[in-house]
Chain A
Amino acid sequence: DTGVSQNPRHKITKRGQNVTFRCDPISEHNRLYWYRQTLGQGPEFLTYFQNEAQLEKSRLLSDRFSAERPKGSFSTLEIQRTEQGDSAMYLCASSLNFHLEQYFGPGTRLTVT
Chain B
Amino acid sequence: DAKTTQPNSMESNEEEPVHLPCNHSTISGTDYIHWYRQLPSQGPEYVIHGLTSNVNNRMASLAIAEDRKSSTLILHRATLRDAAVYYCILRDTGNQFYFGTGTSLTVIP
- B38 to nearest A CB, angstroms? 8
A56:B42 contact, CB within 8 angstroms:
no
Main secondary structure of the interface of B (DSSP, over half): loop
A42:B45 contact, CB within 8 angstroms:
no
Identity of the chain B residue whose Cβ is nearest the Cβ of A41 in the assembled complex: B101
A103 and B97 alpha carbons, distance in the complex (Å): 13
Counting CB contacts under 8 A, is A102 at the interface? yes
Contact of A102 among B41, B46, B85, B94 (CB under 8 A): B46
B43:A106 contact, CB within 8 angstroms:
yes
Q: Given A93-B43, A101-B49, A106-B43, are A40 and B96 also a contact pair (CB < 8 Å)?
A: no
Residues of A at the B interface (CB closer than 8 Å) are 4, 31, 33, 35, 40-45, 48, 55-56, 58, 91, 93, 98-99, 101-107
Interface size range on B against A: 20 to 34
| Interface mask (B78-109 → A, CB under 8 Å = 1, otherwise 0) | 00000001010000001111111110000000
Residues of B at the A interface (CB closer than 8 Å) are 32, 34, 41-46, 49, 85, 87, 94-102
- B103 to nearest A CB, angstroms? 11
